[in-house]
Chains A and B, each alone.
Chain A
Amino acid sequence: MICSASACLPNWRSLTLLFCLGLMLVTENLSAAPPRRPQQPQQQLPDLKSPADKLRFLEMIRMSFPATRAGRSVTFTSEDLDRDLERYVARGTSTPFADLIDDETFIRRATLDATGLVPSANQVKKFVADPNPKKRAALVDQLVESDAFARKWARYWREVVFYESTANRNMVNPQAFEDYLYKEFKQGTSWDRIVGELMSATPQRQRDKKPQDNGWQQDNGPNNFILACENKPELIASNTARIFMGISIGCAECHDHPFDNWKREQFHELAAFFSSGKYYMTDQYDPSKKEEMKPKFILGEMPPPNLKPDQRRVAGAAYLIYNPDNYWFARAYVNRMWSELVGDGFYSVDSLGPDKDVVHVLTVNRIAATFRYAGFDVRWLFRVLMNSRTYQRGIATLEQPEDLFTAVRPTRLRPYEVADNVERLTGDLGGVRGSIESTFDANPSVPQADLEGSIQQALLMMNNGSIHSKLKNSSLRKDLDKLKRNDELITEAFLGILARRPTPPEITRYEYFINGASDRSEAIEDLMWVLVNSAEFVTKR
């Protein structure tokens, strides 16, 4: 399907020219295996009505994408990453790099990052005792291949897409979206293919059905990005830029961007890709005046005129993902994952202004480029990063931008991770799970350094009757009740709740605490209360 000649029809040519910047593409039969040599070009662009046709078409473009083609020979290891970044970081600060973490800390951090779960006491003990010198790499491999990995990131992206969505509940199916992403992550589907499917979806209102009965085709998972944007061109445009490119362009809907170069026209030209008919921009001052806007992507890419809506969507997806000059797409993914894992991003994940806001731009660009070369393999980034020194450093509260990446920032668990962590101890909490999630609610696109706790969180963790009565009857509690020696009791409580052994001073302190209580059973309950309420319990360290 890759055509080196340009003897194609104008329509076809201009589209593919822009899709691939010079690489010519033709198609004969979408269902056929890609031939090696150019065939007679078809006269017409396929109408790309079905999702399968769209994906096949995007797949052809993908195969001609220079980065994925060249990528087979490019390598980039954790060591390359560390060397690169350490050099740049050391230039800007005299703050020493934090020491590498011990095995106990590593297994909790890595398990939380890859799966959102806290390891059990036994997992911690076993990992610490394992003599294999490469056990960290082996654990990373095991974690990123697990189903829990797919679930964690499906849930994360569900939150990202739906957190700011105001779509009517009857129009969307967030669970179907999560389940779709789960399936794709589990299969190892690459990021470009997933986003291609989300972007090119054209869910249609089914007039014969009520909205909530799949009337928007929302039960088909990949339709839900577009539906979360209420199928409105303006919202699709601003969320595409925000989520998949990390660029804040939304306020250009109404006026030229106050800080950046984005012009109001540019925003509406982007929105025009997502309209089902002609797209009009309303005059800023007089809403009765309207001007038709032709689709034009952010770097000025223009599809041929008169594309049908489905074709236009596919063109939009291709410009987003497979334009070699659009480095934002790969970098936005890298930066989001990096922010989740290291606690700070190279820039705020969804509000990038001018590129000068990016710290260590050479490093992040290099990782992003290599992510492309790796065929946008979702797990590749986790393997490289989690095996690096950069990831395995101790925690510190970093305040100066030049100190970034000398240590890892301790971060708040996501609301559902807090709930999982509590339920790990209490068992199913029923409706209280929802209270935990809403009380610990946090926008997944806000930098961790900017998140704040609340008094309500403290009240919930201290006093919720259901949580504490279930803790009282938990299996951990029963195990602790059996231990006669206080040091063993304290050790098991720490391992069970905080996934680490207590330090010697902690043992001393809690022995004193237990001995000072009038009732041993009450003391155990209080010890568990303290650990469950500690900042550490709800923090990734």
Chain B
Amino acid sequence: MVNNNLLHVTLNRHGMLTRRELLQIAGGGFAGMMGGSILRTLGLNAAEMKQEGRSCIMVFLTGAPSQMETWDPKPGTANGGPTKGIQTKIAGVQFAEYWPKLAAMTNDVSVIRSLAGKEAAHERGQFHLRTGHRMGPTKFPHFGSVVAQRLGDPDADIPNFVSVGNTLSSGFLGVKVAPFVISKAGELPANVSSGVGAKRFERRLTALGQQDAEFASQGASAISLEHQELYLRAAKMMTSSRLKAFTLDGESDKTQESYGKNSFGAGCLVARRLVETGVPFIEVQRGGWDMHQNLWQNMPRTAGEVDQGVSALLADLKSRGLLEKTVVLVLGEFGRTPKINQRTPEVGRDHWARNFNMLLAGGGIKGGVCVGKTSADGQEIEDRKVEVDDLFATMCECLKIDASEEMITPEGRPVRTVEEGLAIDELLS
């Protein structure tokens, strides 16, 4: 079992060991004494040590935002409704009026306006946009689990995939790369302190390991082995110095204000802290986009929070030199009908998967690009249709993951990480 109590390292005010400090420790012979294990115990994953640590933050707008009120407005048309456009830094490209902060950041941010989905029901659309595969009998993993598996340190002391809010599971990749779900950003996860000394705790864990192994041999292998794996990970996590990344300790009021003092803002801030501590994949969510009714009543606040949180996140990542290796995606499961419905008490837009939009930034994504074009009435893609597969191929490219690598399903069927599709060249720097 793991016991890192012997290691007491000085942490910076963010509760983290800086790279410089690490090198000092390593240079001081501490690492030489302990071999590679100290680096592992400190929880710095191998990739980060090689300065290649790439991460992905997926901002998921659950409920499916309207493309016409986000980044593909059609002001002055019947379908466009009352939404006004505001100029971005990309020539000829406007965002909807609700996105002033991100519009001002479009040197770093790019938009895809011609994403073509295949699913117009929430559950199926979310499955497609989180896994890159369509829902069916095969339990495809969340893309975050794929990233955790390829980029994460398998021995990491905190999970390689953290989600603020419930999300899809790791499917057939299993609990090792399952999302660690926190319901409230900015606090330590619950129950991370054992209340007994390290030696006693280890004795308990050893006995538990034997107890579970016996149960496994009596026919409960799947449940018991998973149980042991989870306890091992939980125990590691309890002593991790990186746990502080889940809190907002040391973040100034000013920083917290800049993200917006709401749960979405806190989620974005924790995402930055997790990236900083080497977690390769984080999902943050903002729901409330399923605006069949009252669309224009709800849009300013919903969009406002996301505009503020994401723009602060991007600025913060950039100022810390993290943006170039962190790809940030802002997307929902599909779009909404260009035609406005006639629902009561106030109108809105219904489900629409034929064309919708999303934002990308950082991690090898070139800023200032607008991919694709929709028709004036918003009903057709006129240029550069992007399939969901193309999007996932692009993410693989940014994260230096091989999109053609095969994963083996429990039925023994090999499936490619991304089935088909080509990375969007014009987005790659």
Chain A residues packing against B (C-beta within 8 Å)? 98, 250-251, 253-255, 258-259, 282, 285-288, 394-397, 399, 407, 410, 412, 435, 449-450, 452-460, 462-465, 468, 506, 509-510, 513, 516-517, 522, 526-527, 529-531, 533-536, 539, 541
Contacts and interface: CB of A to CB of B under 8 A. Distances in A.
Interface stretch (B83-91, B93-101, B218-226, B277-285): B218-226
A291 to B, nearest CB: 15
B373 interface: no
A286 B339 CA distance: 7
Interface string B157-197: 00100000000011000110010110000000111111100
Contacts of A526: 200, 203-204, 207
Contacts of B208: 530, 533-534
A531 B215 CA distance: 12
B190 A435 contact: yes
B419 interface: no
A43 to B, nearest CB: 39
A249 to B, nearest CB: 12
22 contacts: A251-B119, A251-B121, A282-B341, A285-B354, A286-B339, A394-B218, A395-B220, A397-B220, A397-B223, A449-B222, A454-B180, A454-B181, A455-B159, A455-B180, A456-B189, A459-B234, A510-B207, A526-B204, A526-B207, A529-B204, A534-B212, A539-B215
B136 interface: yes
B190 A453 contact: no
Interface residues of B, number: 59
Contacts of B180: 454-456
Nearest to A351: B137
Contact of B219 (A395, A464, A506): A395
Interface in B324-359: 337, 339, 341-342, 349-351, 354
B356 to A, nearest CB: 15
Contact of B222 (A259, A397, A462, A527): A397
Nearest to A534: B211
A535 B195 contact: no
B231 interface: yes
Interface string B205-219: 001101110111011
Nearest to B228: A535
Contacts of A535: 211-212, 215-216, 220, 223-224, 227-228
B219 A513 contact: no
Given A509-B210, A531-B211, A534-B208, A453 B230 contact: yes
A534 B215 contact: yes
A305 B354 CA distance: 37
B211 A541 contact: no
B315 interface: no
A394 B219 contact: yes
Nearest to A532: B208
B238 interface: yes
A162 B164 CA distance: 23
B323 interface: no
Contacts of B351: 254
Interface in B116-142: 119-121, 124, 134, 136, 139
Contacts of A509: 207, 210
Contacts of B218: 394-395, 541
Given A407-B219, A526-B204, A536-B215, 20 more contacts: A251-B121, A288-B341, A397-B222, A397-B223, A399-B410, A410-B219, A410-B220, A449-B222, A452-B170, A453-B175, A453-B230, A454-B180, A459-B190, A460-B191, A517-B203, A522-B200, A533-B204, A533-B231, A534-B212, A535-B228
Interface in B211-264: 211-212, 214-216, 218-224, 226-228, 230-231, 233-235, 237-238
A287 B350 contact: yes
B231 A458 contact: yes
A255 B203 CA distance: 57
Contact of B169 (A394, A407, A452, A457): A452
Contacts of A287: 337, 339, 341, 349-350
